[in-house]
Amino acid sequence: MIEACNAESGLHIQAIYDDSACFPSLLAHYGMFRNAKNYLALVGSASTPDLRGICGYYGQKLVLALQQMELNTCWIGGSYSKKKTGAELGPEEELVCIIAMGYGETQGKPRRSKPMSKLCNVAESEMPKWFRHGMMAAQLAPTALNQQKFFVTLEGNSVTVSVTKKNAMAEIDRGIVRCQFEAGSGHPCL
Ligand SMILES: Cc1cc2nc3c(=O)[nH]c(=O)nc-3n(C[C@H](O)[C@H](O)[C@H](O)COP(=O)(O)O)c2cc1C
């Protein structure tokens, strides 16, 4: 599946096994990982337009597939050492972020989400069913620090996701939400 994602997107996503060097130490304040040693490195050419958004989109496709295989995952954009990953970078390539994968000690826990009314331009009472399903999946999308700084717009039949507050992870989050909306609704989302 990684090969298929790379062929479609032009990315250079790599699976790295048995290598825990890049994970934060147990003393870290934020982003503690215990026994994590397998991950995906999301790599692509630095000149790719919207490189971070594309990484978000294809990374989340892989996350959904991994979770379906009963593995657990965690997006990691900040709390890891870029220098200590085993990712192979070509001369023009950049490491955008990593996704830890493995068998979790737990399945995670439910967390709060913003209500649909704050996340899209359609009133719940007027939503087509497919759009509601897309929004339910978008609400479940992981975002950095769970900030959910995205907004989904329905115009005619076309759906777009925009960023409501720019930060280092916003474009990755946008790609993740696009993937989730498509998976939930069966409709394209740009
Ligand atoms: C783009 C992105 C970057 C993230 N970076 C980190 C990170 O550096 N360290 C960490 O512990 N968690 C990181 N996370 C995990 C989020 O904090 C977590 O997904 C979010 O709080 C939502 O919780 P959930 O995944 O349980 O739904 C990141 C998530 C995303 C989407």
Indicate which CATH number applies to the domain containing 19. Answer: 3.40.109.10
- Please state the domain count of the chain: 2
Strand locations in 10-157 (E): 14-16, 39-45, 72-76, 93-102, 150-155
Each residue's pLDDT tens digit, 79-114: 999 999 999 999 999 999 999 999 999 999 999 999
Instruction: Give distance in angstroms: CA of 157 to centre of ligand 1.
Output: 31
Q: Residue 111 falls within a domain, yes or no?
A: no
pLDDT recorded at residue 32: 79
Q: Residue 190 falls within a domain, yes or no?
A: no
pLDDT recorded at residue 9: 98
- Which residue lies with its CA nearest to atom 9 of ligand 1? 31
Q: Residue 30 falls within a domain, yes or no?
A: yes
Together in a domain, 47 and 75 = yes
Instruction: Give distance in angstroms: CA of 24 to centre of ligand 1.
Output: 14
Please say which residue of 80, 102, 124 terminates a domain.
Answer: 102
Tokens of 78: 């900040």
- Which residue lies with its CA nearest to atom 6 of ligand 1? 76
pLDDT at 176 over 90: yes
Instruction: Give distance in angstroms: CA of 90 to centre of ligand 1.
Output: 27
Tokens of 123: 């009133």
Give the span between the Cα atoms of 6 and 11, in whole angstroms: 5
Q: Domain limits at 28?
A: 2-102
Tokens of 175: 């790609």
pLDDT recorded at residue 25: 73
Tokens of 166: 């720019």
What number is the average pLDDT over the span 121-145? Answer: 97
Task: Tell me the percentage of the chain whose pLDDT exceeds 90.
Answer: 94
pLDDT recorded at residue 150: 98
pLDDT recorded at residue 24: 83
Give the number of other CB atoms < 10 A from CB of residue 112: 7
Together in a domain, 26 and 94 = yes
pLDDT at 26 over 90: no
Give the span between the Cα atoms of 33 and 90, in whole angstroms: 28
Instruction: Give distance in angstroms: CA of 120 to centre of ligand 1.
Output: 22
pLDDT recorded at residue 85: 97
Q: Residue 108 falls within a domain, yes or no?
A: no
pTM here is: 0.97
Tell me the average pLDDT of the chain.
96
Atom in ligand 1 nearest the alpha carbon of residue 109: 26
Protein residues whose CB sits closer than 6 Å to any atom of ligand 1:
31, 74-79, 108, 111, 142-146, 169, 172-173, 176
Instruction: Give distance in angstroms: CA of 145 to centre of ligand 1.
Output: 6
Together in a domain, 139 and 98 = no
- Which residue lies with its CA nearest to atom 13 of ligand 1? 76
pLDDT at 140 over 90: yes
**Residue entry with tokens 């998976």:** 183
pLDDT at 28 over 80: no
Give the span between the Cα atoms of 104 and 180, in whole angstroms: 22
